[in-house]
Structure 1
Amino acid sequence: PGEGPSPVPPRGTREALWNHAGLRRDPAGLALLAEDPFPLARAIGRCALHREESRGAHRRVDAPELDAALDDHHTVVGSDEQPRFERWD
């Protein structure tokens, strides 16, 4: 038992991840996750909101198509917790 936040998210966060970051994602649910107190859940919500397309297992109900302009682009999060795209060749 050390100091610092628990590595295990609380039950409410786990349920929010299950409900809002599963197979069907919508902006309202992702916005809730983006404000979650657990840092990893917050990052998942913000990154999923940032990617306004469907790609692989990331399925947005409001953006069902793949955006070819984002091919080879990855989501990166800096210390400000704001996601941005970076192209990796």
Structure 2
Amino acid sequence: MSRRHRTGHMRGAKGRRKRLDLARRDGARCFYCRTPFTDPATEATFDHYLPYALWPTNVHCNLVLACQGCNHAKGDTLPLGLLLALRPWLTRAQLAVAA
């Protein structure tokens, strides 16, 4: 995976602008632990709600802001509620990536 597509990283003014857009959409808090960010443009990291391995795109509807700890803890897994909802439609290979 190239540096450009690493989870949580988008450099420059474009990344700051996208973080601020997401902070306005979701509130300036970590999506998982709800800890508020004092400056989401610099503190927050991007997290792909559906892992990049399953849906390799950086569309706005799949990105959430997360603190560094929550982002690394989630990694390439699906959130449990989403995994349970999608399980009937996922193949074994996709479940292996999601787990």
TM-score bracket, shorter-length normalisation: under 0.3
| Greater share of residues in helix | 2
**What is the TM-score normalised by the length of structure 2?**
0.24
**What is the TM-score normalised by the length of structure 1?**
0.26
